[in-house]
Amino acid sequence: MSLTVIGIGPGDTCYLTAQAEAALAAADAVYGYGPYLDRLTLRADQERHASDNRQEGARASAALKHAAHGAKVAIVSGGDPGVFAMAAAICEQIEIGPDAWRALDVVVIPGITAMLAVAARIGAPLGHDFCALSLSDNLKPWPLIERRLDAAAQAGFVIALYNPVSRARPWQFGDAIECLRSHLPPATPVVFGRAVGRPDERVEITTLGAVNATLADMATLVIVGTRETRTIARPGRPPLVYTPRAAAEVSV
């Protein structure tokens, strides 16, 4: 009678925490988006329930129903399950679902979220105050996203952008960059981290003025710096991007 929501990190199994591994091993059944389940090695006696990317609500209620029937159920998310992922979908279903779901033992196991994995690749862009935004307008209106981008840039936060593009959302990322260009100087460092922790990983450093919006895809996390964020060139090595721990003045 338990449901464990497990963060499996950004890619390779080396990012699985020992806690996540133990929780996976204890599960009778594992639910998740197919490609996430493919990253895991499940035993023959463990049931595998793969579902499509967009079906979070249905996946959450199926897992809750299964757990309420007495099984030890795990549901996995890439990165951290609490960041634009399954833990909130589970809570949403518990809130509207039958009373039996409130009696379940629900455990959330954290994982390394994409912005931390990308940041670690290139230095310390999140070294000072930052925020994270999903650019997906599937569950919120686009004008709200623009308002949040305006506010975050004006307040001087480093901004981590999740879900920059998808097949159904081709123009939003370009609009977001235009919005940020209206607040921040062209030299502001921007990092594109694609499929970090996977074999096809690619990390690129550019500037807000030079951003090519077509560089982002569904597997990309974008970090937009502040006026304080700096790039350190190094001979024979990739540059370091960092945001100093101190902000001297109100810079917006």
Chain residues in the site for ligand SAH (CB under 6 A):
10-11, 77-80, 83-85, 113-114, 118, 162-163, 193-198, 218-221
* Exposed e or buried b per residue across 151-175, where buried means at least 16 C-beta atoms within 10 angstroms of its C-beta: ebbeebbbbbbbbbbbeebeebbbe
For ligand SAH, the nearest residue by Cβ is 79
Q: How far apart are CA 149 and CA 41, in angstroms?
A: 39
Closest CB to ligand SAH among residues 10, 125: 10
CB of 106 to ligand SAH, least distance (A): 17
CB of 112 to ligand SAH, least distance (A): 8
Q: How far apart are CA 221 and CA 191, in angstroms?
A: 8
Q: Do 49 and 29 contact (CB within 8 A), yes or no?
A: yes
Closest CB to ligand SAH among residues 111, 189: 111
CB of 45 to ligand SAH, least distance (A): 28
CB of 69 to ligand SAH, least distance (A): 27
DSSP 69-104: TT-EEEEEESB-TTSSSHHHHHHHHHHHS-HHHHTS
Closest CB to ligand SAH among residues 82, 189: 82
CB of 198 to ligand SAH, least distance (A): 6
- SS3 breakdown of the chain: % helix, strand, coil, rounded to 5? 35, 30, 40
Q: How far apart are CA 130 and CA 132, in angstroms?
A: 7
Other CB atoms closer than 10 Å to residue 67's CB: what's the count?
A: 26
CB of 100 to ligand SAH, least distance (A): 27
Closest CB to ligand SAH among residues 27, 119: 119
Closest CB to ligand SAH among residues 29, 117: 117
Which residue, among 192, 183, 125, has the nearest Cα to 149 in the 3D structure? 183
Closest CB to ligand SAH among residues 125, 193: 193
